[in-house]
Amino acid sequence: MWDPVTLKTAKMNYWVTKAKQPTAVIAGWVRKDKIFRWCTKRRPVELKAHDCLFIWKGGALSFVIAIAECLSVKKKPDMEGYYWFRIRFLTDAFEPKLTIGLLRKDPILKKASFLKVGPSGTLFRILPEMGRHLKLLACKRGLVEPGALPDGEIHASTADAVTNALERSAGFESNPRIRKAIEDYSMDLAAKYLDQEGFAPKDTHTTKPYDFVCRKGGAELFVEVKGTRAAGKAVLLTPAEVKHAKKHKNSALFIIHSVKVSGKKKPVVSGGEQRFLHPWDISAGILRPQSYVFTLQK
């Protein structure tokens, strides 16, 4: 199970987590406010909710490609020995500005373990002054707006509380295989429906805050897709998706709800009921904030 909620106030820890995939693959994962699952072979004993994570792109050109926060950590490994933890990206993918060459010359960061040649592992804890300095460098390089990233003391329960609330209200799937199967199933159904209706859909879900961009009769339409085993009365939207839907009145929402899932290791999704809101006026529904973070002034 995921770590239980704790009511203690805790200092934010800073970590670097390495990804060895090509830049284009990692950049496809990263989208501001997107919730994602990460894993490591080594048990992340001290990693906790709301810690700050710097996503490190390894390989020939190594650099900080994004910043994220930890939402929750799984206590036990899966069948293959991996420890999983949920993260939320705080930024979009960075250009290669915070490179290994630059950081090795930095007087504060040059001795950091993740910068050494061939260190074992994929998750490295760094000193608080190193973490704060890395965030400062990201701001100075124009990668992040000043004040856009959390800092200081926070309640470690906040992120877990948000995640749990979203799961209950919007049918969030904690099993990554089932979640991925439902997402793929929903995207496939949506693509077929939009194509049959003459919208000529183009998949954009890895790079944009909407899943399809369509064109019909010279008009452009942005389509968001949501799939769930729940009744579909509520769906989870990221801040980026809300912002885009508010700004673009030519938006639509495709929901496939009440789907059936059989199996956990190799889940098979079937059935479900479709609902296509076109046009989608986001102001006609109710947007509920799930949580707030209150930080005391020093």
| pLDDT tier for residue 113 given thresholds of 50, 70 and 90 | confident
Residues 37, 111 within the same domain? yes
Flag whether 292 is in a domain.
Answer: no
- CA distance linking residue 91 with residue 64, whole number of Å: 11
Question: Which candidate, 152, 143, 139, 172, places its Cα nearest to that of 72?
Answer: 172
Last residue of a domain, one of 167, 201, 220: 167
- CA distance linking residue 271 with residue 102, whole number of Å: 52
How many domains does the chain contain in total?
A: 2
User: Where residue 225 sits, what CATH number does that domain have?
Assistant: 3.40.1350
Residue 174 has pLDDT above 70, yes or no: no
Residues 18, 161 within the same domain? yes
Flag whether 201 is in a domain.
Answer: yes
- Is-contact 259 228, C-beta < 8 A? yes
> How does DSSP classify residue 146?
T
- Around Cβ 2, how many Cβ atoms within 10 Å? 17
Residue 216 has pLDDT above 70, yes or no: yes
Flag whether 4 is in a domain.
Answer: no
| Percent over 70 (pLDDT), the chain | 82
Q: Which of 7-21, 38-52, 226-240 has the lowest mean pLDDT?
A: 7-21
Residues 117, 13 within the same domain? yes
Residues 17, 161 within the same domain? yes
What value does the CA radius of gyration of the chain take, rounded to a whole number of Å?
20
Residues 150, 21 within the same domain? yes
141-170 per-residue burial string, b: 16 or more CB within 10 A, e: under 16:
eebbeeeebeeeebbbbbbbebbbebeeeb
Q: Which of 169-173, 198-202, 264-268, 272-276 has the lowest mean pLDDT?
A: 169-173
Question: Which candidate, 279, 253, 286, 87, places its Cα nearest to that of 186?
Answer: 253
Q: What is the pLDDT at residue 272?
A: 95
User: If you search the block for the tokens 């809101």, which residue do you land on?
Assistant: 277
Residues 48, 103 within the same domain? yes
Flag whether 148 is in a domain.
Answer: yes
Flag whether 40 is in a domain.
Answer: yes
Show contacts of 108-111: CB within 8 Å, 24+ apart: 108/133, 109/133, 109/134
| pLDDT tier for residue 295 given thresholds of 50, 70 and 90 | low
- Around Cβ 98, how many Cβ atoms within 10 Å? 22
Residue 293 has pLDDT above 60, yes or no: no
Residue 36 has pLDDT above 50, yes or no: yes
Tens digits of per-residue pLDDT, 132-171? Answer: 999 989 988 888 876 667 654 444 444 444 445 444 445 5
Burial of 16 per CB tally in 10 Å (0-12, 13-18, 19+):
buried
Residues 28, 160 within the same domain? yes
Reduced to 3 states (helix: H, G, I; strand: E, B; else coil), residue 70 is: strand
Residues 182, 160 within the same domain? no
Structural domain of residue 205, as residue ranges?
171-284
Q: What's the farthest any 2 CA atoms get from each other in the chain?
A: 59
Mean pLDDT, range 263-281, rounded to an integer: 93
Flag whether 295 is in a domain.
Answer: no
Flag whether 117 is in a domain.
Answer: yes
Tens digits of per-residue pLDDT, 231-243? Answer: 888 888 888 899 9
List Cβ neighbours of 51 (8 Å cut-off, separation of 6 or more).
12, 13, 14, 15, 69, 70
Q: What is the dihedral sign for C-alpha 84, 87, 89, 90?
A: negative
Tens digits of per-residue pLDDT, 48-88? Answer: 888 999 999 988 789 999 999 999 998 889 888 989 999 99
Reduced to 3 states (helix: H, G, I; strand: E, B; else coil), residue 104 is: helix
Q: Which of 213-222, 226-235, 240-249 has the lowest mean pLDDT?
A: 226-235
139 vs 18, 40, 54, 145, CA distance in Å?
21, 28, 14, 6
Residue 211 has pLDDT above 50, yes or no: yes
Last residue of a domain, one of 167, 202, 228: 167
Tens digits of per-residue pLDDT, 85-102? Answer: 999 999 999 999 999 999
pTM of the model: 0.51
Q: What is the pLDDT at residue 1?
A: 38
Residue type at 98? L
| Percent over 90 (pLDDT), the chain | 50
